[in-house]
Structure 1
Amino acid sequence: MKHLIMITVLLVTGILSAQSNYDKGMEKAFELWKNNQLPEAEQLFERIAAAEPDAWLPSYYSAQMNSLKTWGEKDASKVKAQLEKAQNFLNDAMAIEKDNADLIVMQAQIWTNWVAFDGMTYGMKYSAKITDLYNKAYALAPNNPMVVLGRAEWNMGSARFFGQDIKPFCKDVEKAIQLFVNFNPESPFHPNWGRERAQQVADSCKD
């Protein structure tokens, strides 16, 4: 009986230690990101992803960081390398978490990066798929402000491209702002970005 109790204690202690290490690692990665130490933050997320094969969030943030790096990048080889790396991490996250609206939005954003980089090459390939992804994410999580904002921005961009009025989508941006007010992510590490961006987009609707 004593041996059984000891084994149970060791198992529980090990689980708590692992959780603690995960939490500490994620907190440190976010701190590095906040302090604009981007390479260090990215590397730490990658290490956590490797050490926690059942956790989708480290891979999600590794994908997000590589996706964000492509904005404004003109070197085709760098864009290709960064977006392929982002896609690989996203694939890892999607293998862990099924039908997750945040991951679907990330896929849409990665494909949007391709379109933004070279619309002539990737516009026809990805545009309809991006629309479908946002609609799928919205069907899964209509009260997720990041889903609502991402969908609205994509629709606004498409409207501008075709010379159409963006005003019909401004109400969706306002909806996202309202959703952010009461939005409570599952944990301190779950996606919770876009508040400032939503306000910027809303302000542009007033111009």
Structure 2
Amino acid sequence: MVRFITTAVLLFCSAVFGQAKFEQSMGESLALWGQGKPTEASAKIERIASVEKANWLPNYYIGMINTTEAFKPENREKATALLEKAQKAVDEAAIISPNNAEIMVLQALVYTAWIVQDPMTNGMKYSNKAMEQYFKAQAIAPNNPRVVFCKAEFEIGGAKWTGADTKPLCAQVEKSIELFATFKPETALHPNWGLDRAKKTLENCTK
């Protein structure tokens, strides 16, 4: 019995230490991203992902970093490579955590980044795919602020081409801001972004 208890305590301590190390490493990686070092951040998280094979968050952030970089005009020449890396990471995250609304939103953002690179060629190819991801995410997590906001933001972008009324979409952006106010991420490392963008989008709605 004593041996069993000792073993259990050691396993528990090992798990706690492992989680603390993971959180520290991820925190350092995200800090690099915040310092304007996306390549270094992505590389460091790739190393974490190679160890944390059962955790979807490292691959999520690899996808997020590379997708965000692909949106930047100055990275246009590197956009294809960035989005291919992002897609691979999103695929890995989805295998680890299927039916995850956060990953679906990220997948939709990858599709949106492809559209931004070449709207005439990629618009028809990826618009429906992006909306499919948003609808799936909405069915799983209708009160997730990123689901509500990003879906509305994407549709507002499409309205510029179709001439659709944006008032209902702006109302959804406003709703997302209310949801952000009460949203509690599972941990400090779980996705918690989007509020600033939602506020800026709402400001543009009222102009």
TM-score interval w.r.t. the shorter chain?
A: over 0.9
SS at match of 1:110: helix
Q: Which residue of 2 aligns with 1:141?
A: 141
Q: Which residue of 2 aligns with 1:171?
A: 171
Q: Which residue of 2 aligns with 1:74?
A: 76
Q: Which residue of 2 aligns with 1:57?
A: 57
**Segment drifting more, 167-176 vs 39-48:** 39-48
Q: Which amino acid aligns with 2:40?
A: E
- Following superposition, the deviation at residue 53 of structure 1 comes to 0.2
Q: Which residue of 2 aligns with 1:161?
A: 161
Q: Distance in 2 between matches of 1:24 and 1:136?
A: 33
Q: Distance in 2 between matches of 1:177 and 1:166?
A: 17
SS at match of 1:184: coil
In the alignment, is the contact (CA less than 8 A) between 1:137 and 1:147 conserved in 2? yes
Q: Which runs of 4+ in 1 moved over 4 A?
A: none
Q: Which amino acid aligns with 1:63?
A: G
Gaps of 5+ in 2: none
Q: Which amino acid aligns with 2:112?
A: T
Q: Distance in 2 between matches of 1:166 and 1:160?
A: 9
Question: What do you get for the CA RMSD once the two structures are aligned?
Answer: 1.4
Q: Which residue of 2 aligns with 1:30?
A: 30
The answer to whether the aligner puts 1:122 opposite 2:122 as a matched pair is: yes
Q: Which amino acid aligns with 1:58?
A: P
Deviation digits for residues 109-163 of structure 1 (CA, Å, limit 9, x no counterpart): 0011111101222111111121121111111111111110100011111111112
Q: Which amino acid aligns with 2:193?
A: W
- Following superposition, the deviation at residue 102 of structure 1 comes to 0.4
SS at match of 1:74: helix
Q: Distance in 1 between matches of 2:129 and 2:35?
A: 35
Question: Mapping of 1:35-54 within 5 angstroms?
Answer: 35-54=35-54
Deviation digits for residues 15-41 of structure 1 (CA, Å, limit 9, x no counterpart): 122111111111212222222232222
Q: Distance in 1 between matches of 2:80 and 2:37?
A: 23
- Following superposition, the deviation at residue 179 of structure 1 comes to 0.6
SS at match of 2:155: helix
Q: Which amino acid aligns with 1:118?
A: D
TM-score, normalised to structure 2's length?
A: 0.94
- Following superposition, the deviation at residue 60 of structure 1 comes to 0.1
In the alignment, is the contact (CA less than 8 A) between 1:67 and 1:83 conserved in 2? yes
Q: Which amino acid aligns with 1:48?
A: I
Q: Which amino acid aligns with 1:74?
A: R
TM-score, normalised to structure 1's length?
A: 0.94
Matched residues, number = 205
- Following superposition, the deviation at residue 61 of structure 1 comes to 0.3
- Following superposition, the deviation at residue 7 of structure 1 comes to 2.8
Gaps of 5+ in 1: none
- Following superposition, the deviation at residue 2 of structure 1 comes to 4.3
Q: Which amino acid aligns with 1:89?
A: A
